[in-house]
Amino acid sequence: MKVRIILIDDHRIMRDGIRSLIAKQPDFEIVAEAGDGRTAVRLTKELSPDAVVMDVNMPELNGIEATRQIIAENPKVKIIALSMYSDKQFVIGMLKAGASGYLLKDCAFGELVDAIHAVIKGQIHLSEGVATFMLKGYLHKYSKGDSSFFSILTNREREVLQLIAEGKTTKSIASILNVSTKTAETHRQQIMNKLDIHSIAGLTKHAIREGIISV
């Protein structure tokens, strides 16, 4: 069964180019196209496609709002943003609205094909440049204001937490870290207080959940 696609872009030449390339894919089918977001919403509602390739900046209704309306009506539709803009507000806006992919218009056609296949399988696909800045933003966020153990606990406390989760006693932890038993016990108490977890079992579960240790 072919993947049914709606193509949305306010530049006719862009739509023509993409349509001609997609037509060469035996498992893809363009069922409709339009040049504005409002028509995109209507066509998606009428035709229930598998995927929508959506421009971001368009007249009447932009791609972000169109995506939001489409996903609210039919969450199963996979939307891939295809834009010349890699600005943070556009990328985050589209992803928050429900898009499953974000590609830049200077990408190779093969990447669009890969992106469509990926989102149909339930995956997220981002252009390399977009993925890089999203990852940097994620890491910056967690280095500045994260409430997880990475920011709550000190380096030494994270070491102690791992050892606790691995079943080490306070005495063993003190020996491994070359500190006094009293210091090791103080670290353990501080960890419990900071995480508001007051049992070894609870700390172990937390360590597994945070990826400090594996089951």
Supply the angle between the helices 88-97 and 63-73 in degrees, to the nearest 10: 10
Tens digit of each residue's pLDDT (9 = 90 or more) over 50-68? 999 999 988 778 898 899 9
Q: What's the confidence (pLDDT) of residue 157? A: 87
Domain ranges of the chain: 3-140, 149-209
Tens digit of each residue's pLDDT (9 = 90 or more) over 147-174? 555 568 887 888 898 899 889 999 999 9
| Cβ proximity of 64 and 90 under 8 Å | yes
Q: What is the 3-state secondary structure (H, E, C) of 7-29?
A: EECCCHHHHHHHHHHHCCCCCEE
DSSP characters for 139-198? HHHHHHH--SHHHHS-HHHHHHHHHHHTT--HHHHHHHHT--HHHHHHHHHHHHHHHT--
Domains 3-140 and 149-209 share a fold: no
Asked whether the predicted pLDDT for residue 70 surpasses 50, the reply is yes
Q: What's the confidence (pLDDT) of residue 115? A: 93
Asked whether the predicted pLDDT for residue 141 surpasses 60, the reply is no
Asked whether the predicted pLDDT for residue 86 surpasses 80, the reply is no
Q: Which position has the higher pLDDT, 189 or 166?
A: 189
Domain at 3-140: CATH code: 3.40.50.2300
In the block, tokens 């995109």 appear at 40
Asked whether the predicted pLDDT for residue 139 surpasses 50, the reply is no
Q: What is the mean pLDDT of residues 113-133?
A: 86
Q: What's the confidence (pLDDT) of residue 100? A: 94
Q: What is the mean pLDDT of residues 83-109?
A: 86
**pTM of this prediction exceeds 0.75:** no
Q: What is the mean pLDDT of residues 184-197?
A: 92
Contacts of 39 (CB under 8 A, 6+ apart): 8
Interior angle at CA 102, CA 112 and CA 210, nearest 5: 120
Domain at 149-209: CATH code: 1.10.10.10
Q: What's the confidence (pLDDT) of residue 138? A: 54
